[in-house]
Amino acid sequence: MKVKNKTIVVTGGGNGLGREIVLNLLDKGARVIAVDMNETALEETFNLSKKNKGVLIPHIADITSTEELKILRDKTINLFGAVDGVINNAGIIQPFVKLNDLDFEIIKRVMNVNFIGMANVTKTFLPQLLSRSESHIVNVSSLGGIVPTAGQISYCASKAAVKQFSDCLRSELSETNVRVTTIFPGAMQTNIKINSGLMREAESTDAARAGNTLHPTLAAEHIVAAMEHNRKSAYLGKDSKSMHFISKISSTLATKLIYSQVKYKFN
């Protein structure tokens, strides 16, 4: 689905990858509803949209709330008449600890945002998407959704759920005009640790610079391209592509390789 002149809802649109997706869509001529819980971040995204401000609507909402999403849906339809696409990008991670040391409230929060929120947004807008001659759903999973990562058990479980949800939904919608794309990013230079309450801004910036991570601007370009070319999936970053390849050969080897990279965090 070409995004020009289409109305697209983007969750987590206040910063990081979500912000870059919003700006990329605007540059391609789309109308965008940027959804986030962070009002300041949404204002920054709006200010960065420059000449495209007239077709960007920032909206504060908790994606786990069905009532708040109904308000968002009605607002979008009232403003633009219809919804053509949804990009479920919002997500958080957990502290880097093993299950025995992980607070169960954190497990519930990660699952609620990453999976329940994604499912809630999709179900809220699906009737509108089904009414369009063409429409698209993009769900952002993760490398952690296909290769287990010790110390991120709830995050990986939530992103694996996103993958399976997307695969099942794609099958359900196979005889409709709605297309479904699943995105599997590797490590990226985003504020996910800050947004998850796990790191201060200065620490996050230093960590991103130190690692071989994918810039969110480039990731956003790949995501929008996957949407426009109706791709079933996209693996973003060298780590995601290589680990996906290795996991198809040997899931055990892939798991061991990931563990060798993260085990120092538990010492």
The residues carrying an active-site annotation are 155
CA nearest neighbour of 17 among 195, 166, 227:
195
Question: If you compute the radius of gyration of the chain from its CA atoms, what whole number of angstroms results?
Answer: 18
Give the span between the Cα atoms of 118 and 161, in whole angstroms: 10
CA nearest neighbour of 118 among 161, 167, 149:
161
How do beta strands 31-36 and 85-88 pair? unpaired
| DSSP-assigned letters across all residues of 182-222 | EEEE-SBSSSHHHHTTSS-HHHHHHHHHHS--B-HHHHHHH
Q: Which residue has the tokens 């061991």?
A: 256
Instruction: Retrieve residue 43's tokens.
Output: 């204002």
Please name the helix (run of DSSP H) or strand (run of DSSP E) that holds residue 22, with its range, or none: helix 16-27
Give the chain's end-to-end CA distance (angstroms, integer).
48
Give the span between the Cα atoms of 207 and 67, in whole angstroms: 37
* Strand ranges inside the chain, DSSP E: 7-11, 31-36, 56-60, 85-88, 135-140, 178-185, 233-236
Q: Is 113 exposed, middle or buried (0-12, 13-18, 19+ CB in 10 A)?
A: buried
